[in-house]
Each structure stands twice: as structure tokens, then as C-alpha cells.
Chain A
Amino acid sequence: MNIKHAIQAAAAAALLALAQTASAQVAVIVNPKSSIASITPEQAAAIFLGKSSMLPSGQTAVPADLPESSQAREIFYSKAAGKSPAQVKATWARLTFSGKATPPKELPTAADVKKLVVANPDAIGYIEKSAVDSTVKVVLTLE
């Protein structure tokens, strides 16, 4: 493979990755009974990055993360907080090893996050927009 082809291939791969990222939307979800109507990206980031343990409603938040390999997780942190996965990890290392906070519970799939949100009025999670159904309430959409 000559250099020209390599560059073309790389560019194509980059464009494809970009297109995938751009098309994916992430919804921040809460229990339908929650009094929260909407939440700002800053508020969502504060809860998931241990800056605030409170929901806008004043209750103690119960946040749930998706696994590190999940694309929704990467989009959530980059759009809500401007942080890469490594930055998120470093932030939690700071909080964990100063005994200030513990990271959100990590759940394996979007279905598990929905299940938690349905069961707990103080739970908050994020999932791919396409996975949203009537059992949960969307309070923020990130894209």
C-alpha cells in the first residue's frame, strides 16, 4: 500500500468514525415520577463527576454509568463535561483516593440502567436515545 492509499484509507476511516459519533444521541433519563423536568449538561456532569451529590430536586442522586467500552458513555462525558475517558478516570482517581466520593455504579447495558431508573425515583442515567421508551423520562439530550 503506498502512502496515498494509506492516507485515503485513514481519511475514510476518520470520516466514518466522525459520522458514527455525529449520528449517535445520548439521552439523560430519570424516573417518570421525578419532579425534574430538565437538567443542564453542567448539572448532569456535576453529578456524574462527583462535584455534586444532589439532583436539582434536592434529593441525593443515584447515578449509574455504562461500561467504559460503551460509545454512549464516551459521548455523554465528552458532550456534557468536555472530558475524554482518561480525564474522567483521572477525575475519579482524585475523588476516590481522597475519600471524597465513590464513582457511580457501573451497569452493563442500557436495559439495566433503565431498570434501575424505573425502580428508583432518585436514579439518573444516560443511554442511547434509540433505547429510550415510555418507562423513563428524558431530561436532557446530548448529541
Chain B
Amino acid sequence: MSEKKLRRLPLAAAALVACVSAQAEYQSPDGKFRLSGFGTIGVVRNGTDDAEFNYPGQLGGATKRASLNPDSKIAVQGTYKLSPTVSATTQVLTKYDAEGQYIPNIEWAFAKWQAAPALSFRAGRMGAPYFMVSDFRDVGYANTMARPNIDVYGQVPVSQFQGADASYQMNIGSSTVVTTLWAGDSKAQFAAAVTSPPLEVLIQGQIGLNIQADLSEGWSLRLGHMQGKLSLSNSKSRQLADFANQLAAGATQYASSAAPDAANGATAAASFAQVDPLVNPSSLDASFTGVGLTYDQDAWVISGEFTKRKVAELAADTTAWYGNVGYRVGKFTPYFGLSKIKSDRRASNPVVLANLASAPDINAQSAVLHSLVDNVLGFQKMDQKTTTLGVRWDAMSNLAIKAQLDRITKPADSNGMFFVPDPASTTAQNFLNSKRAVNVMTLSVDFVF
């Protein structure tokens, strides 16, 4: 057991003690303050050592050596009612992050005003409602499966936004329809490799609309759309852009020289200049649209989502969907799921290999640039499909145990949703370029307290 794992043991022990000793959440005698929490202790074993399985964005995950990192987490949430209509909520969540650490993070911190029985406003830091289960994606106990579907939920690297929302509830017959308008900015770190620092993800000026309809007989339908401005950058991508720009300046000198280097110099320079906006995209139009359906009544529990991500200028458009079916037999819920993510459009490497008779160094450096850009683009190659089989056991009133097997198939020229520690390595290149089927096994204990 590594030193890192040893440091994690107290966290796991504390979580277990909390869940066993604190059956119910705490409520102050006057009823104004409530404290509750949730957590997961999960172990994942990946069927390959060539790439790691994690929740996208984390710095590393499971290989054939099982890991606690992808799923284990603990959170505490407090709500204080300042008046019958105004409340304040804070949630502190600790999970394995983009820097490979367990650092408590303020996931939510918002105030809510119930202006009328049907109308509420919130402001502060809240869950970014891209998906059907965005708000409780980390609450394993509240979900049938071990984790939110990665093919779909891995498309968006942010989980929270700072801003405001307004919700209006209508009762139509026996259905309840909640319409929410939200606006704000999101910021997150996303680890794409061990060899570079986490990407700083910014989605600014987001505005979104969600319609959640709870129909009768256990059905509910959810429609959501958002748009905003996406920026991605880290120190390594800025270095790469500097290198490309210098090379472009170098090649430009030959554009005014004698033929045949003139034409080739101009073409190469133009292609190098395209690297900066590609690896440091700034304020690009991005949108996300999703449709979800659930059925949860009596024995059957069914859920599915169909989503589309669009980042036009970066050509990072994806379509992803999942469908899950579970059937309750007493305290056991065996379940089955299928899911898929597909790139609709993918950015191609713009770098043209220079062929300058009078500048062999530029020729060599353009080849280096080409492969560096390939490595950056590699993490956007996320096509894969997953077949999931598992069982949830409601072992205690506040604790569920899940065993899950995911068979993930990814085509050649895709990393799927796997984490590739060093994209430049031979192992990584082989993984990227071959079709693979990988079995991922998960055993987790989810609890609320």
C-alpha cells in the first residue's frame, strides 16, 4: 500500500464511522438548521494497464491495480432557514481531484428565496444543470448505478456554476412542471494527462433553460439547453502556442525567399499559426442540449438521456446517450445499461510538415510540433460504448452496496473516456491506435447520513 493510500485510510474510516453511528441527519431543536451528508467508498479495477479508468478530469485512476480514487468521496451539507421563505445552503465535497488530491471543495454555497409557493430564486454557487442528475451526480445512494454514466456525463468538465436561477412550478392535472432559467459562469480544472498541468476550464456567460416534468404513474421527462463561451488553457498549452508562433515567424522569413521555399514557407507558417487558437481556445461558442426520461415506480426503474455537445470552432461536437433498466426484487435491484459517445466532428491537426530546402531545422521542428498537437488533440478522441451489468443492494436504510461490471469498447484512433498518463509514450500511442474492449469492475458502498 502506497503512502498516498495510507493517508486516505482515515478518510474512509471516518466516513464509515459517520454512516454507521449517525443514522439520521442532524436537525437543530428549533428546526432551522439541518446538517446531512453523503459519501461513497468505492473500489475500481480496470482490465488494462495501458490507460487508466477514472471519472473524467481526475488525475489518474484505476489500472489492473484496484483504486479507491475514481469513486470514493464524502460530503457534508448544511442548510439554515433564516426565515420561512429564505434559506442558505452550503455543501463541502471531498473527492479525488484534477491535482490528484483529496482537498475539501465548496461545491455549493447559495441562498434561496421562496418568493411564492410556486416561484423560487437562488443565487450563489450551485450545481450546473447540464444533465438530468447533475445536482446529485455525486450522491451514489440516490442513484441506482455505481456512478453517473461516464459516456454522457464525461462530456462536460464542470459541475457547478456561480450565478443565479429562477424556478417556476406549474401543476397541470396530476403532473408537476418546473421551469428553471439559469445564468452564470463555471470554472473547473481538468486533468488530461500526468505530463501536463490540469487544464483551466472556463465557461462564461452561460444561460440555460431546464424543463422538468413529473408526469403521473412514475414517469418524468426533462429537457435542457444551455449556451456559453468556452475557454481552455494551461501553462503547457501556452508554451506549445509560443513554440508554434515562433516557428511560424521562422517559416514566414522563407515565404519571401526564392522559390521553391517561398510557397512551402507560407503554407507551413499559416498552418503553425492555427495552433494557438486550437490549443488555447478562448471564448468559443459552446452549447449543450439534453433530453432525459425516467420511470421510477414499484419494481421498475428506468432512465435514459440523449445529449449533444457543440463547440463549433473547435469542432469538438459530440453526441452521447445512455439507457438503464433496473428491476427491484426486495432489497436487490439488478440493472443493465447501454451507452455510447460519438464524435460528430473532430478538430484535425492543422500542422503542415515543412519541407524547406534551406531550413532543415524548421522541417524537424514542424514534425515535433505536429506530434505535440496530436497529443493535445488525443484527449478529445473520446468515442466509446459501454455495456453495464450490476446489482444494487439496499443493505441498510441509509446504505447501499453495489457491484458493477462495465465492458467498454473503444475504436481505433480514440482514447475513449480513459485517462492516458503520458500521451507521447509508446503504450499510449498503441492504446490510441488500436480497437480495445476493456472490462472495469466496481464495488462500492454508498451512504447518506
Contacts and interface: CB of A to CB of B under 8 A. Distances in A.
A54 B110 CA distance: 23
Contacts of B345: none
Contact of B108 (A53, A81, A99, A105): A99
B379 interface: no
Contacts of A90: 141-142
B174 A97 contact: no
B117 A97 contact: no
Interface stretch (B31-39, B253-261, B414-422): B31-39
A85 interface: yes
A91 B135 CA distance: 13
B136 A98 contact: yes
A54 B117 contact: yes
B125 to A, nearest CB: 11
A109 interface: no
A73 to B, nearest CB: 12
Contacts of B398: 89
A99 B108 CA distance: 9
B328 A84 contact: yes
Given A53-B114, A94-B136, A98-B136, A82 B142 contact: no
Contacts, number: 84
Contacts of B214: 46, 51
A89 B448 contact: yes
A93 interface: yes
Given A99-B89, A99-B110, A99-B135, A86 B38 contact: no
A135 interface: no
A143 to B, nearest CB: 17
Contact of A46 (B34, B176, B448): B176
A43 B139 contact: no
Contact of A97 (B91, B176, B298, B331): B91
Contact of B75 (A58, A83, A89, A97): A97
A40 B174 contact: yes
Contacts of B77: 96-97, 99
A100 B114 CA distance: 11
A98 B135 contact: yes
Given A86-B331, A89-B398, A90-B142, A100 B135 contact: yes
B126 interface: yes
Please tell me the size bucket of the interface on A. Answer: 20 to 34
A99 B138 CA distance: 13
A89 B142 CA distance: 8
Contacts of A59: 117
Interface string A63-100: 00000100000000000011111110111011011111
A42 interface: yes
With most chain B CB atoms within 10 A of its CB, the pick from A93, A94, A97, A102 is A97
B91 A99 contact: yes
A114 B112 CA distance: 30
B127 A98 contact: yes
A82 B219 CA distance: 12
B169 A52 contact: yes
A100 B108 CA distance: 12
A60 interface: yes
B397 A97 contact: no
B114 A93 contact: no
B245 interface: no
A141 to B, nearest CB: 19
Contacts of A97: 36, 38, 75, 77, 91, 135-136, 138-139, 142, 448
A86 B398 CA distance: 8
B214 to A, nearest CB: 5
Contacts of B108: 99
B171 interface: yes
A86 to B, nearest CB: 4
B142 A54 contact: no
B142 A68 contact: no
B438 interface: no
A59 to B, nearest CB: 7
Given A42-B216, A90-B141, A98-B127, A52 B176 contact: yes
Contacts of B126: 99
Given A84-B328, A89-B448, A94 B139 contact: yes
Interface of A: 40, 42-43, 46, 51-54, 58-60, 68, 81-87, 89-91, 93-94, 96-100, 102, 105
Given A58-B117, A98-B136, 16 more contacts: A51-B176, A54-B117, A59-B117, A86-B394, A89-B398, A91-B142, A94-B133, A94-B135, A96-B77, A97-B38, A97-B138, A97-B139, A97-B142, A99-B112, A99-B122, A99-B135
Interface of B: 31, 34, 36, 38, 75, 77, 79, 89, 91, 108, 110, 112, 114, 117-118, 122, 126-127, 133, 135-136, 138-139, 141-142, 169, 171, 174, 176, 214, 216, 218, 296-298, 328, 331, 394, 397-398, 400, 448
27 contacts: A42-B216, A53-B169, A54-B118, A54-B169, A59-B117, A60-B117, A68-B397, A82-B297, A85-B397, A86-B397, A86-B400, A89-B141, A90-B141, A93-B139, A93-B142, A94-B133, A94-B136, A94-B142, A97-B36, A97-B38, A97-B77, A97-B135, A97-B136, A97-B138, A97-B139, A99-B112, A100-B135
In the A-B complex, list the 3 residue pairs whose CB atoms are closest, starting with the nearest. Answer: A98-B135, A93-B142, A86-B394
